[in-house]
Amino acid sequence: MKILVTGAAGLIGSHLVDLLLNENHQVVGVDDMSYGNLNNLKQALTNPNFKLKTVKAQFLPLWKESFDIIYHLASMKKPTDSVIKSSLVLKENTDMVNIIASEAIKNNSYLVYTSTSDVYGNSVNFKEDEPIIMGPPTNERYSYALSKLYGEQYILNEMTQSNLNGCVVRIFGCAS
């Protein structure tokens, strides 16, 4: 299979790339290297079935290509300092999911969208059916959570309203 992995040089993305290559898939990795690290792809970069594109996923010049599966792991992270504006986190992440979902629909690719437990907001129980309670909009950290929640809702809507095939995966507590 021909597979695209966005966020390929990140912790989870690089392990996924290695796993897919070990299963003899053709893998195109995309990472703008804002959070990724080439050392994570040391093994993959020696594999002839792997190509790395260092570009933002939403500006990917290879949308001329189609993929059997798209793993969308890339995202702009939570603002932790004044360098990253929280409004940019919202814009970048929603732009990415909109474009990637459109490409998956157009090319009949299966889309795996990775989200985060941050979408639970201020939850105590982390249950799927409980109401989501976010804190005040003055807390810029919620920009990341809301962008991921938007992505989940957008993907689920497209799965019922168009011909998008895919799933949403929420990742809990991952650290390198």
| 154 catalytically annotated | no
Separation between Cα atoms, residue 135 and residue 11, nearest integer Å:
29
**For residue 130, which amino acid is it?**
E
Of these residues, 113, 120, 144, 150, which one is catalytic?
Answer: 144
Contact 159, 146 (CB under 8 A): no
**For residue 108, which amino acid is it?**
N
Sheet holding 50-53, edge to edge: 50-53, 26-30, 2-6, 69-72, 110-116, 165-171
Catalytic residue positions?
144
